[in-house]
Amino acid sequence: MKLKLAAVLMMASATAFAQDPNKLGLQLWSLRAQLTASLPAGMAEAKDLGFTMVESAGTYGHSARELRQLADANGIKIVGAHIDYLRLQTDLKGAIADAKTLGASYVIVAWVPHKGDFTVQQAHMAAANFTAWGAAMKADGLKFGFHTHGYEFKPLADGSSAFDVMMSQTDPNLVFCEMDVFWVVQAGVDPVKLLEKYPGRFKAFHIKDMKKGAPTGLYEGHAPASDNVIVGQGVMDWPAIIAAGRKAGVEYSFIEDETSDPIGNIPPSIKYLETLGLKP
């Protein structure tokens, strides 16, 4: 029985970026309050919202196997896993095992630890780690990517950015990118132009909208919940962004609701995104 389960988990992890690019998923971080209070209730809430595809962000005090079992019980596929940078540095083998247990096809790093500005030296180090982790994961049937968070776009003296450094020093066959549209826009970067600059590198979107008048040109990767609004009610040009993403090779789109009322705000966000062809 254990051998059979292991084979099933291996098969579930083997295929990456082979799904309907019009399918809309949920980043479970959106329901972190619900999942922390009760993992079973939180996963049931994800189902009730209509999602059958999610991306994880931690396991909320439970094991990867327990999260997988609850996902399976609710008819939900965990396609990707956000895993902490420091965990990958100290326990890469264990992190890979957890991702495969979840049934994920890829692993994402959402934040590179740093204080103050994210420097070129830190970008070099991150790129080297990303390459090593990407190679290790590829050998185990997974893909590896990193998630934009704003701080990496602060302009350098020559007009480039730490993001450009990481892109130039990582192999597209080993490292892909997940664009969090909110943090890209908060950093004053045009997401459409970024997709056009790096075609094929972005494989996933985090979709969340920014209220009109919220400050931009910031590089901290933080914002109050009040700067987030229902998708389609903020400043993002979603028709252009979604179209550019399809052209550039984006295959996964996840709502990540960081408003103060995700349960109330996710349904109208879904309704709007359905007008652009994205459906749970």
Per-residue pLDDT band for 265 (boundaries 50, 70, 90) equals: very high
241: its two tokens:
């962004």
Dihedral Cα 180, 181, 184, 189, nearest 10 deg:
150
pLDDT in tens, 176-191: 999 999 999 999 999 9
pTM comes to 0.92
Fold of 26-274: TIM Barrel (3.20.20)
pLDDT of residue 2: 40
Angle between helical axes of 64-73 and 39-48 (0-180°, round to 10):
40
pLDDT in tens, 65-117: 999 999 999 999 999 999 999 999 999 999 999 999 999 999 999 999 999 99
Q: Is the dihedral of CA 38, 273, 205, 265 positive or negative?
A: negative
pLDDT in tens, 7-43: 444 444 334 565 788 999 999 999 999 999 999 999 9
pLDDT of residue 13: 37
Q: Where are the domains of the chain?
A: 26-274
